[in-house]
Amino acid sequence: MDELAGYVDAWSDGCRRLDDLLAGLGDDDWLAPTDCPGWSVQDVVAHLLSIEHCLNTGEQPAGIVPLEGRSLASWWTEAGVAQHRGADADTLRAAWAEAVDERRRHLAADPPTDPDAAPPRTPGGVPWDTGTLLRNRALDVWVHEQDIRRAVGRPGGMDAPAAAIVEQIFLDALPYVVAKRAGAPAGTRVIVQVGDARRDLFVDAGGRAHVVPPADDADVRIDLDREAFTVLGAGRRLPDDLPATAYAQVSGDLELGDAILRGLAVTP
């Protein structure tokens, strides 16, 4: 399977998993607050609906209002959520499922083949190529599924195909996080272990971090499970506010380890 097909399949699988989750929610669950500031479960679904509808039709959300200190994409996102506030849960879920089915039909009829090509549409007009758009759709649906699961106390889905894609995106950002976000000094060695995935990083004399072959010693070692890595990488919570079911431990330079954990918020 090629990369683009993998992204499409992970997105489609994530949509199915999310639909199964939504089918079991009660009225109170739809109103539960999520880790996305100001958004309920219903608002998260409205956000996902607005994106799929735009990708299908090119129609923009109504009432886009500039938000001080926020990007145009942020205005677009908030407008998409606001447009569906007040809709009942059954109507919203049905509209989202219909938009997903339509998107699946479009992708099946004209499968993308060039990751560097400009897609017909992107949400909010962000300048993504096709590979980035499809990758980020898989990420968006799965990360928001996890937002909803935490909000309603129904964990699961950590073994989904999209989960592995999200983990890889966050792992790829580690050199930037270690060197720039955390400011690790030259000569620093860091080990980050996420489940079975491990990255050893070394900061060179120029202040850039690189992935290097594994070694036994390091200035700081960070061990996390996928849940903690997801919550931190998606910028949902700080290290001292992780869910009780998540695991994160730092050994060695605790101050640097904490700075790395706090710098992990890299969701595109």
Token pair of 226 as six digits = 């996928």
Is residue 165 in some structural domain?
Answer: no
Give the integer Cα–Cα distance in Å for 22 and 32.
Answer: 13
Give the integer Cα–Cα distance in Å for 49 and 83.
Answer: 11
Give the integer Cα–Cα distance in Å for 113 and 109.
Answer: 12
Give the integer Cα–Cα distance in Å for 99 and 21.
Answer: 17
- Residue at which a domain ends, from 125, 157, 189: 157
How many separate domains does the chain show? Answer: 2
Residues 209 and 134 in one domain: no
Residues 184 and 150 in one domain: no
Give the integer Cα–Cα distance in Å for 89 and 97.
Answer: 12
Residues 20 and 89 in one domain: yes
Residues 184 and 110 in one domain: no
Residues 181 and 152 in one domain: no
Residues 153 and 36 in one domain: yes
Is residue 149 in some structural domain?
Answer: yes
* pLDDT by 10s per residue, the chain, length 268: 599 999 999 999 999 999 999 999 999 999 999 999 999 999 999 999 999 999 999 988 877 766 676 666 777 788 888 888 889 999 999 999 999 999 999 999 999 999 999 999 998 888 999 999 999 999 999 999 999 999 999 999 999 999 999 999 999 999 999 999 999 999 999 999 999 999 999 999 999 999 999 999 999 999 999 999 999 999 999 999 999 999 999 999 999 999 999 999 998 6
User: What's residue 142's pLDDT?
Assistant: 98
User: What's residue 72's pLDDT?
Assistant: 63
User: What's residue 107's pLDDT?
Assistant: 97
Give the integer Cα–Cα distance in Å for 9 and 175.
Answer: 28
Is residue 93 in some structural domain?
Answer: yes
Domain that holds residue 20: 3-157
Is residue 53 in some structural domain?
Answer: yes
Residues 75 and 152 in one domain: yes
- Residue at which a domain ends, from 114, 130, 157: 157
Residues 87 and 10 in one domain: yes
